[in-house]
Chains A and B, each alone.
Chain A
Amino acid sequence: MKDLNEEQQERAAGLKGLGCSRKRVEDARFTQGKGNYVDDIKMPGMLHGDFVRSPYAHARVKSINTDAAMALDGVVAVLTAKDLEPLSLHWMPTLAGDKQMVLADGKVLFQGQEVAFVVARDRFIAADAVELVEVEYEELPVIVNPFEALQSDVVLREDLAGQTEGAHGPRKHHNHIFTWEVGEKDATEQVLGDAEVVAEETVYYHRTHPCPLETCGAVASMDKVNGKLTVWGTFQAPHVVRTVASLLSGIEEHNIRVVSPDIGGGFGNKVGVYPGYVCAIVASIVTGVPVKWIEDRMENLMSTAFARDYWMTGKISATKEGKITGLHCHVTADHGAFDACADPTKFPAGFMNICTGSYDIPTAYLAVDGVYTNKAPGGVSYRCSFRVTEAAYFIERMIEVLAIELNMDAAELRRINFIKKEQFPYQSALGWEYDSGDYHTAWDKALKAVDYEGLRKEQADRVEAFKRGETRKLMGVGLSFFTEIVGAGPVKNCDILGMGMFDSCEIRIHPTGSAIARLGTISQGQGHATTFAQILASEIGISADSITIEEGDTDTAPYGLGTYGSRSTPVAGAATALAGRKIRAKAQMIAAYLLEVHDNDLEWDVDRFVVKGAPERFKTMKEIAYAAYNQAIPGVEPGLEAVSYYDPPNMTYPFGAYVCVMDIDVDTGVQEIRKFYALDDCGTRINPMIIEGQVHGGLTEALAVALGQEIAYDDMGNVKTGTFMDFFLPTAWEVPNYITDHTVTPSPHHPIGAKGVGESPHVGGVPCFSNAVNDAFRAFGLRHTHMPHDHWRIWQTANRLGLHD
């Protein structure tokens, strides 16, 4: 773009386009309590559904007696698998090629599994009726450990008995789901065998949960007169839900309308299709009136969408000088009772093969084994793009362990192994083409900003003081450098249930020069209504304040795959820019007619077309819009609209450099975050205020996961963390202020160079917090300790290292 003069700059600023920290248009309704979330939807005669859930993690369901429940005044129906079976809805396909029980069919496989669905006049009656449903269970042996599952004679999935072929290839055992391999096994083993130095470690990324503040829910309304089914719900991918609902129910897709109203946070929890949605739909079809289902917090944590639960065993080899030569990674992935991950079809372990991270590793091999256990299904991407968080955590821990093995500074080890600026586009050993990056610049900027050398010096002094008995606090310096892979994705290799992962935007310019744009994505707090208008403002020269953005209604929005995996800006954002360019192309023809010049004699100038060499002769976008509807222009259709479906040529690869300084009290295990510095490079920055907000939020979710948040089970498969009493969500009191910073390395293949940012802070944050804890104890011989690093576990680590003696 050429430089703008002062007058042009003023006009450009008025557009509130790219780069403007525009205040959010969403906020007026939210700050006044006028948001419209699914639980706010009320319809005449609406009934309420509630689940009878299994108290056991593994049991046979001998009988279900619904008589007493049905006898309760106000109860309209109680659905069990038997009622769903004639409709073939007692099971449903998962997004991962497996199938999942909607209601217990013969047995239950995890605690909290849906057994029966009660439909009643209000929530209180429904809850009473749930208590009255009598279910007789016969307990079966419970397996909550994936390694044990692979040894056990107990068959968890009897429905799959004898099936040696799964959705992703051969199954090795009756509790095994798939093996996914990437890279060169023999070559990697060779490199490791020949290496001067090899570091090995098993890194467990514990099970946790995205836990948005609003739980999942839906309102289904079957209009039997018109044959139309409308479903409002907490859907991160409303179009996919419509297609799935059509395939499952047999109702033609044009007769189904799916609406995502305001969503109270998603973070991956609201990508999947859950039994509650299906039961609400069936119940509405059966009763002929609208049915609402809203899960409570305990149900949310116990049954919908866990994340992680990856046992990652790694070997990393290097020369004595620290140049990495090879990486080997094996993952045992605990998927719970059903494989319900929401990954693109060809990636049963998501993008775990980004586990070579930001480093130039010539040879690598990854194998992932998926395993069934008696735990809830899910495996969703909790604020990350398909297992990227696991991959980043793995490599950033392996780097630290290697640094210990080499007796080297971990920052320096990273520096000498970074992919160099001139190597982009970079082909990774595990199959990705990184689009752009400048890691060394980012790293140097980060280390300088925190005075890295000073920190190390202070840390060394602290260790000495500790040894002299002058302090009981250690200091950890956590480092992480991450590369994300987001914006799924190219239709050639990314699909969900066969649907290519493109996205879309449709724009209508109104005669008076304002506009509406609709997209296939759906905001859950990211501020799409604000930022997509900014992209468009810069493209078409209409102020963002005059552009309405609408998403989430499948009857009006163009088809798209939804919002998760930081794909909205990379994919739908690109569609928006390109649809805007189509508008501009037509506008140019109209302007040429109005100015009586040839198209090529015009040039674009912020918000208008100007005759080249005659700046006083121009037509603004507003004037052009009016003409588009009010003048007969030969050879040009009336109106000013455009639609774009964008199939990205590649993923985008945001990156960042984070540093955390932590003080740890060895006697209490309490950690205190003294400083957190986060440098993000998400390419072109659309709205810096929103980016910063996303970074704060993602880091806080990272802090939670690293320092305490987990879904824990006992040996009987009981969920030990079913409420906020035990499931850690940090409050304002526990969270530090973060220092944010950035570099800008645009994506070369994205129309505006943007890469996406929402998930970066989570991906990079978790290893950074964890590395800080581990680093604090490095001087005392610690190599690695598993997350979550809560006070008790930190105390235990200190104790094991003899620091309490």
Chain B
Amino acid sequence: MSNKMHIKMTVNGKAEEFLAEPRELLIYTLRERLNVTGPHIGCETSHCGACTVTLNGKSVKACTLFVAQADGAELTTIEGLGTPDSLHVLQEAFREHHGLQCGYCTPGMITRASKLLEENPTPTEEEVRFGMAGNMCRCTGYQNIVKSILAAAAEMNAAKEAAQ
């Protein structure tokens, strides 16, 4: 169809190129077109954060971005954070501290948390709670999510120190 746009993007290090209607929402591009189903849909109104991905170094909600807005972008989703043999520290910490139950919010949570810890490697509990307020969880009551993120931060900082 004539109104399709030529889109290029990098998703988890892999170059992607395709034609898409400009109105296609980024979350559908990821989930339906590229089979990247880690990010989920919880509201489609930018409230819940289940769809959180990293776009050009910023946390964004993929449900309310058009694919056209992500043309040329570099994207990281939960699938790009760790591998089964070498999990991201946050992926380990969420398991260790029971930071998830149904798991539906988890990909968005961890993706957001990874960004948060880049922005602020030594957050206080309050800063974690504030920095994660764009991601909703219906199961955990957040207490163990906060615990997981603080534990991951501590671990990452300890590793950094040890490396110096």
Taking beta carbons and an 8 Å cutoff, which residues of A are in contact with B? Answer: 23-24, 26-35, 37, 39-40, 42, 122-124, 211-215, 262-265, 267, 294, 296-297, 524-527, 689-690, 692-694, 696-701, 723-725, 729, 731-733, 735, 737-738
Contact = CB atoms under 8 A, between A and B. Distances in A.
A731 B140 contact: no
Contacts of A694: 101
Nearest to A738: B143
Q: What are the 7 A-B residue pairs with the smallest beta carbon separation, nearest first?
A: A33-B38, A30-B103, A525-B102, A264-B104, A696-B141, A700-B141, A525-B101
B133 interface: yes
Contact of A732 (B45, B87, B132): B132
B106 interface: yes
Interface in B137-157: 137-146
9 contacts: A24-B98, A31-B110, A39-B37, A212-B102, A212-B138, A214-B102, A262-B102, A690-B98, A724-B43
A732 B146 contact: yes
A264 B28 CA distance: 19
Taking chain B's interface residues, is the majority helix, strand, or loop, or is none over half, making it mixed? loop
Contacts of B95: 23-24, 27-28, 31
A31 B87 contact: yes
Contacts of B75: none
Contacts of B145: 732
B139 A297 contact: no
Interface string B23-46: 110001001100111111111110
Nearest to B106: A30
Contacts of B105: 213
B50 interface: yes
Contacts of B32: 42, 122-123
Nearest to B45: A723
A39 B143 contact: no
Given A32-B91, A689-B98, A701-B138, A296 B44 contact: yes
B118 interface: no
A99 B51 CA distance: 37
B79 A32 contact: yes
Given A124-B23, A213-B48, A701-B138, A31 B43 contact: no
Given A33-B39, A724-B47, A700 B103 contact: no
Interface of B: 21, 23-24, 28, 31-32, 35-45, 47-48, 50, 77-79, 82, 84, 87, 91, 94-96, 98, 100-107, 110, 128-130, 132-146
A689 B110 CA distance: 20
Contact of B96 (A23, A123, A211, A690): A23
B138 A262 contact: no
Given A32-B79, A696-B141, A213 B102 contact: yes
A27 B78 CA distance: 14
A33 B79 contact: yes
B136 A729 contact: yes
Q: Most chain-A CB neighbours within 10 Å: which of B31, B42, B47?
A: B42
Nearest to A34: B38
Q: Is the interface of A mostly helix, strand, loop or mixed?
A: loop
A381 B110 CA distance: 31
B142 A735 contact: yes
A690 B101 CA distance: 9
A122 B135 CA distance: 28
A33 B139 contact: no
A527 B137 contact: no
Nearest to A692: B98
Nearest to B97: A689
B39 A696 contact: no
A469 to B, nearest CB: 31
B98 A693 contact: yes
A31 B77 contact: no
A228 to B, nearest CB: 26
Given A30-B106, A296-B44, 6 more contacts: A31-B91, A33-B37, A214-B102, A732-B128, A732-B133, A733-B129
Contacts, number: 176
A33 B107 contact: yes
Contacts of A294: 41
A732 B35 CA distance: 30
Contact of B94 (A31, A39, A701, A724): A31
A325 B31 CA distance: 61
Contacts of B87: 31-32
B142 A214 contact: no
A694 B102 CA distance: 11
Contacts of A524: 102
A31 B139 contact: no
A32 B12 CA distance: 13
A302 B62 CA distance: 24
Contacts of A31: 78, 87, 91, 94-95, 100, 103, 106, 110
Nearest to A733: B133
Contacts of A33: 36-39, 77-79, 107
B141 A697 contact: yes
Contacts of A723: 43, 45, 47
A260 to B, nearest CB: 12
Given A31-B95, A693-B98, A724-B43, A37 B104 contact: yes
Nearest to A301: B43
A697 B45 contact: no
Contacts of A525: 101-104, 139
Given A23-B95, A24-B95, A696-B141, A30 B100 contact: yes
Contacts of A526: 101
Contacts of B142: 696, 700, 731-732, 735
Contact of B129 (A696, A701, A732): A732
A27 to B, nearest CB: 4
A294 B21 CA distance: 22
B144 A213 contact: no
B103 A725 contact: no
B87 to A, nearest CB: 7
Contacts of A264: 40, 102-104
B135 to A, nearest CB: 8
A214 B42 contact: yes
A267 to B, nearest CB: 7
B91 A725 contact: no
A731 B96 contact: no
A297 B61 CA distance: 16
Contacts of B48: 213, 724, 729
Contacts of A689: 98
Contacts of B103: 26-27, 29-31, 35, 262, 264, 525
A39 B138 contact: no
Contacts of A701: 138
Most chain-A Cβ atoms within 10 A of its Cβ — which of B96, B133, B143?
A: B143
Nearest to B36: A33
B133 A696 contact: no
A522 B94 CA distance: 23
The residue among A27, A724, A729 with the most chain B CB atoms within 10 A of its own CB is A27
A265 B102 contact: yes
Contacts of A267: 138
Given A27-B95, A32-B79, A690-B98, A297 B44 contact: yes
A269 to B, nearest CB: 10
A122 B21 CA distance: 13
A37 B103 CA distance: 10
B57 to A, nearest CB: 20
A234 to B, nearest CB: 11
Nearest to A698: B141
B102 A297 contact: no
A729 B138 contact: yes
B35 to A, nearest CB: 8
Given A525-B101, A693-B144, A733 B79 contact: no
